Amino acid sequence: MSAVSADYIARIEGTCGAESDIIVVLKFDKKDQALEKLLKNATLKNQIADMIYNFTYKEHVFRFYASGRIIFKGIKDKQTLNKLIDSLLL
């Protein structure tokens, strides 16, 4: 992951459950800036209750939560995740 992306991120957490979602926890004071980047770089599909932003980027789907978390689905390895994060937070 690039230093620019790392600057937005507090922690990355794996989850248990068969879905193996990955949750990226953004730094609290960076979450709004991160959302602006996502709106610029990815496609916003829809929004739920001003809380959830459903995005797609290439073949990837992910959700941004207003609390500053991004949940990525179906990502197989760390490299893919890092590359994806770099493209989104460019």
Tell me which residues touch another protein (CB under 8 A): 15-19, 21, 23, 48-49, 51-52, 63, 65-67, 69, 71, 73
The terminus-to-terminus CA distance of the chain in angstroms comes to: 11
For residues 62 and 26, what is the distance between their CA atoms, to the nearest angstrom?
14
Which residue lies nearer to another protein by CB, 73 or 78?
73
Taking the complex as a whole, the smallest distance from the CB of residue 15 to another protein amounts, in Å, to 5
In the complex, least distance from residue 71 CB atom to another protein, rounded to whole angstroms: 6
What is the nearest approach in angstroms of another protein to the Cβ of residue 2? 25
Query: What are the two backbone dihedrals, phi and then psi, of residue 10, each rounded to the nearest 5 degrees?
Result: -90, -45
**Three-state SS for 81?**
helix
